A and B are shown apart, each in its own frame.
Chain A
Amino acid sequence: MKHDFGYFIREGVGNLFSHGFMSFAAIGITVACLLIMGTFSLVAYNAEMLLRTLESEYEILAFVDDSFDEEQTKKVGEDIAKLPNVKNVVFITREEAMEAFENRSLDDYMRRNILPEMFRDRYAVYVSDLNQVRRTASNIENVKGVGKGNVRVDEDIAGGFIMVRNVAGAVSIALVAILLVVSVFIISNTIRLTTFDRRDEIAIMKMVGATNAFIRWPFVYEGFLLGFLSASIAFGLQWLVYVTVVKSIASADTLQFLRAVPFADIWKPVALSFGGAGIVIGVGGSLTAIRKFLQV
């Protein structure tokens, strides 16, 4: 028997409207669930992106003992490079450090009064994992020619982001699991209402010899439509919320260092995950609801 798509979709849409309020409620709750999941995932994603930028820019400064000659200083760099979690080591002479310092800041008075001797040769150390900055720093301190107190680490910036990423990541995973179940349950109940409404028709269809597949399809399409509509609405809202939040972050002076990923760069995966989740929720819900009709 061929798949009578037109008939099934008409029946499915009819089901949707036969319980307009429940369908509306199911869509509302699914949209809310998708939005919450989406928001936490996007926060986690942005935190992750920021961390990667930070990681690539983040440097530990290791100051080299003044008494070391060129050869010894080079050896210090090699020793640091061998340490775990060290991605890259860049040597900065005191002159370069001074130049950078001058460019970055200060009025003419200070500029005139700085002497290269006030700076020391140093290594900028780049790490692969910000989580381990503290241990890496103490390892660097143990390198001969550096020593205690000669390593500078900005732990606080990294620490804050790591926490945001870890919390948002964990929360979004937990939420995805919980909210998926909740949404499936809500949609399943909505569809169960329709099946209850149509139990006479279902009984007659079985009596005249309709296959289970034939009986099932309209409900599967109903679930699919519920999920798909929810996903579309949730995607639109997510877009709006994201763009608004990004805009307000960009205009807030204190949050300048937060560079959010533009929505244009991520809309495809977001749309795909919303669509996928919506359809899984919808079809999952309808299959749960009509499971009992699968028995003859």
Chain B
Amino acid sequence: MIRLKDVEKEYDNGTYALRGISLTIEDGEFVFLVGPSGSGKSTLIKLLTGEILPSSGRVIVNGFSLTKISDRQIPLLRRSIGVIFQDFRLIGKKTVYENLSFAMRAVGSSPRTIRTRIPYVLKLVGLEEKADQYPHELSGGEQQRVAIARALVNNPMTIIADEPTGNLDPARSLEIMRLLNRINELGTTVVIVTHERDLVNRFRKRVVLLENGLITGDGIGYDAK
């Protein structure tokens, strides 16, 4: 569960990114976070992953209170979240399989767990045939699916996707959204930051609109705000 209460974030240079937002996302929800550039979306994502701390207010993510989280707990928080980026962020010199095993190694999974988990996740994202290929041999949509697989591989409670379709054509974008929807149906909370209105409207899901550091809309569908 994600819970924000009166959260403000002021950067050292004086810019106010968040001006007091309160938001609750229950376990198993599927939420679009939309808003123009500079509205505070990225700041919100960074708050949720523990990259930055709020200036005031309370942030609780999957049971971790981020206002008083210790350095030792931050890795544990991050294990409960799978993050997906617009630019995929795969390791170019590792194969698909190695990219996933790398992420599992990093959190101390045993070789046996790695061997059984990776084929399962690859099948889920439809890439079981591509395990031994390198990222540059794959299309953009496939690379993003590898990134989704990597986000899933450590079995997180929440997936946070930051503009996951920003680099993809509409057909691939839809594919990725459907995949994320499917993952949500399997029980994982999914939060997607995007500004693709058409895509958002294809799914009848909760949309949170952020403008100028404030939540200005919260309801089903982009236009429902």
Contacts and interface: CB of A to CB of B under 8 A. Distances in A.
Contacts of B115: none
Nearest to B109: A1
B5 to A, nearest CB: 23
A208 B50 contact: no
A112 interface: no
A181 B82 CA distance: 42
A204 interface: yes
B135 to A, nearest CB: 12
Interface residues of A, number: 18
A240 interface: no
Interface stretch (B32-40, B100-108, B177-185, B196-204): B100-108
Given A1-B108, A4-B108, A214-B108, A208 B89 contact: no
Nearest to B99: A204
Interface string B69-86: 001101111111011000
Contacts of A7: 105
A61 to B, nearest CB: 73
A203 B74 CA distance: 14
Contacts, number: 53
A209 B78 contact: yes
A211 B106 CA distance: 8
A295 to B, nearest CB: 8
Nearest to A207: B83
Contacts of B150: 208
Contacts of B82: 208
B91 interface: yes
A200 B74 contact: no
B79 to A, nearest CB: 4
A14 to B, nearest CB: 11
A204 B78 contact: no
B204 to A, nearest CB: 31
Interface in A208-223: 208-212, 214
A204 B102 contact: yes
29 contacts: A4-B105, A4-B108, A200-B91, A201-B91, A204-B89, A204-B91, A204-B102, A204-B103, A204-B106, A205-B102, A205-B106, A206-B78, A207-B83, A208-B78, A208-B79, A208-B82, A208-B107, A208-B154, A209-B74, A209-B75, A209-B76, A209-B77, A209-B80, A209-B106, A209-B107, A211-B72, A212-B75, A214-B106, A296-B50
Interface of A: 1-2, 4, 7, 200-201, 203-212, 214, 296
Given A205-B102, A209-B154, 10 more contacts: A4-B108, A203-B89, A204-B102, A206-B75, A207-B78, A209-B74, A209-B77, A209-B80, A212-B71, A296-B50
Interface of B: 49-50, 71-72, 74-80, 82-83, 89, 91, 102-103, 105-108, 150, 154
